[in-house]
Chain A
């Protein structure tokens, strides 16, 4: 089994100090700036994970969870840091910390490069710096960004990710200057949390319509913690509107749903839970391909239901096997047994 979404906790500033250049060490020592202060999940909220070290992760993901490989990410919010040089320095330190403290110590763990996506040039540089480091298989991109991800501003970053042979992991969260819903600032975290599916939908539309996959035909994208029940109806709508309006975007030469199925994979946790679980297998069928879903536990975040158990119980064995390991193995080009 391959677990496509586990998390390593955010480092504290004192963890990063040994990895930061001297003048930034002085800066963090002598000012109130202690690095990224935002977290995508409010600390100690019911959806926030417990903190744990490598020993806890090994126990939960590999021993108890039964994964042979796990793809991890660290949700350190460099995208919330307004000083561009601090953001870049922190991303570098976080990546070195991930390498040293996690990836080098646990060969079954794969990692995600943290990059300051608010500064696409700096993000591309950090991706290039880390691309060949052992363990890194993808670049973490929080789904909430300052501009839609299909914007031309991000095309050089997509190109860098594509050429580095890495996957772009678009993940729940993000702390840009924009509100987390399409109509403005909500009052409660419940609203923000629920609206994240709409943010994913918007980003998917943007990337396809603005030609990211035409500019980068080998780009691979994984959606993590996006849910997937919204996807079929969104693709129906997008395909329909493409027929009517495709002249505006003539580089989009196939129905949008084709691009989605070719380029995007989706983690299964957290699972939208219909009152009748049988409806889930209908939605999986409507996705139109057996290649799309990836098993994910979202360790150490706690969800109301275990997506893996519930979903895999409903689906035929062959499809279950694909979701548990084959889809991730082929999409991430992971070798058998390691």
Chain B
């Protein structure tokens, strides 16, 4: 089911809009002109994830050495600081055994924007917050966002 959630110009670069669609609170993020939608509910304990701060990627090989990439794609839950990739909804906390529910992302024909939900292997993933980090137990629900003219459209599973 497709829902129009915003005018494209409404969400500036690096910004977000939290909307309620079909009873679900959803955050729509603009990362460098690409739009991503996440459920506004942290799968850890239900915090309002999409109200969290966005962070860049920080890596370190040695105490006191910081390698920073200001991508601002890491969303930290305001409750416990658990980190999620805005692009994929994947958590990057610690290895755990839990499996999580995921949504397939479809490419919307005619739309200009689609999100890639492919997940490379954890250790080699250039998007991992630090080398060697393993995917966490949770992924927040993500939804495809398409741009239909001047409007952003989120596709929710029925």
Footprint of B on A, CB under 8 Å?
A: 152, 155, 210-212, 214-215, 239, 242-247, 249-251, 253-255
Q: Give complex CA distance A215, B60 in Å.
A: 11
Q: Using CB atoms, name the residue of chain A closest to B65.
A: A251
Which of A211, A242, A246, A253 is close to B131, meaning CB atoms less than 8 Å apart? A253
Determine whether B62 belongs to the interface, using a CB cutoff of 8 Å to chain A: yes
Q: Using CB atoms, name the residue of chain A closest to B61.
A: A251
Which of A155, A239, A249 is close to B94, meaning CB atoms less than 8 Å apart? A239
Q: Give complex CA distance A212, B130 in Å.
A: 18
Which of B66, B82, B94 is close to A250, meaning CB atoms less than 8 Å apart? B66
B62 near A250 with CB under 8 A, answer: no
Q: List 29 A-B contacts (CB under 8 A).
A: A152-B63, A155-B63, A210-B63, A211-B62, A211-B63, A211-B64, A214-B61, A239-B94, A242-B94, A243-B81, A243-B93, A244-B82, A245-B81, A246-B130, A247-B58, A247-B81, A247-B83, A247-B129, A250-B66, A250-B129, A250-B130, A251-B60, A251-B61, A251-B62, A251-B63, A251-B65, A253-B60, A253-B131, A254-B132
Determine whether B11 belongs to the interface, using a CB cutoff of 8 Å to chain A: no
Given contacts A152-B63, A211-B63, A211-B64, 4 further A-B contacts (CB under 8 A): A244-B80, A247-B58, A250-B58, A255-B94
Footprint of A on B, CB under 8 Å?
A: 55, 58-66, 76, 80-83, 93-95, 129-133, 136
Q: Give complex CA distance A255, B65 in Å.
A: 19
- CB-CB under 8 A from B82, the residues of chain A are 243-244
Q: Give complex CA distance A5, B73 in Å.
A: 51
The A interface is mostly helix, strand or loop, or mixed, namely helix
B59 near A250 with CB under 8 A, answer: yes
Q: Using CB atoms, name the residue of chain B closest to A150.
A: B63
Q: Give complex CA distance A255, B94 in Å.
A: 7
Q: Least Cβ distance of B128 to chain A in Å?
A: 10
Q: Give complex CA distance A210, B63 in Å.
A: 7
Q: Least Cβ distance of B45 to chain A in Å?
A: 12
Q: Least Cβ distance of B93 to chain A in Å?
A: 4
Q: Which of A210, A211, A212, A246 is the most central at the interface, judged by chain B CB atoms within 10 Å of its CB?
A: A246
A215 near B81 with CB under 8 A, answer: no
Q: Give complex CA distance A244, B65 in Å.
A: 20
- CB-CB under 8 A from A251, the residues of chain B are 60-65
Q: Give complex CA distance A216, B122 in Å.
A: 25
Q: Give complex CA distance A244, B93 in Å.
A: 8
Q: Least Cβ distance of B135 to chain A in Å?
A: 13
A250 near B81 with CB under 8 A, answer: no
- CB-CB under 8 A from A244, the residues of chain B are 80-82
Q: Least Cβ distance of B133 to chain A in Å?
A: 6
Q: Least Cβ distance of B140 to chain A in Å?
A: 15
Given contacts A242-B94, A243-B82, A255-B94, contact A214 B62 (CB under 8 A): yes
- CB-CB under 8 A from A214, the residues of chain B are 60-63
Q: Using CB atoms, name the residue of chain B closest to A251.
A: B60
- CB-CB under 8 A from B59, the residues of chain A are 250
A253 near B63 with CB under 8 A, answer: no
Q: Least Cβ distance of A228 to chain B in Å?
A: 23
Q: Which of A250, A251, A254 is the most central at the interface, judged by chain B CB atoms within 10 Å of its CB?
A: A250
Q: Give complex CA distance A155, B58 in Å.
A: 23
Q: Give complex CA distance A244, B45 in Å.
A: 13
Q: Least Cβ distance of A257 to chain B in Å?
A: 10
B81 near A253 with CB under 8 A, answer: no
Q: Using CB atoms, name the residue of chain B closest to A243.
A: B93
Q: Give complex CA distance A212, B95 in Å.
A: 22
Q: Give complex CA distance A251, B81 in Å.
A: 17
A253 near B132 with CB under 8 A, answer: yes
Q: Least Cβ distance of A212 to chain B in Å?
A: 8
Q: Using CB atoms, name the residue of chain A closest to B133.
A: A253
Given contacts A243-B93, A247-B58, contact A253 B130 (CB under 8 A): yes
- CB-CB under 8 A from B129, the residues of chain A are 247, 250
Q: Give complex CA distance A253, B64 in Å.
A: 14
Q: Least Cβ distance of A253 to chain B in Å?
A: 5
Given contacts A244-B80, A247-B58, contact A152 B64 (CB under 8 A): yes
Q: Give complex CA distance A153, B63 in Å.
A: 12
- CB-CB under 8 A from A211, the residues of chain B are 62-64
- CB-CB under 8 A from A210, the residues of chain B are 63
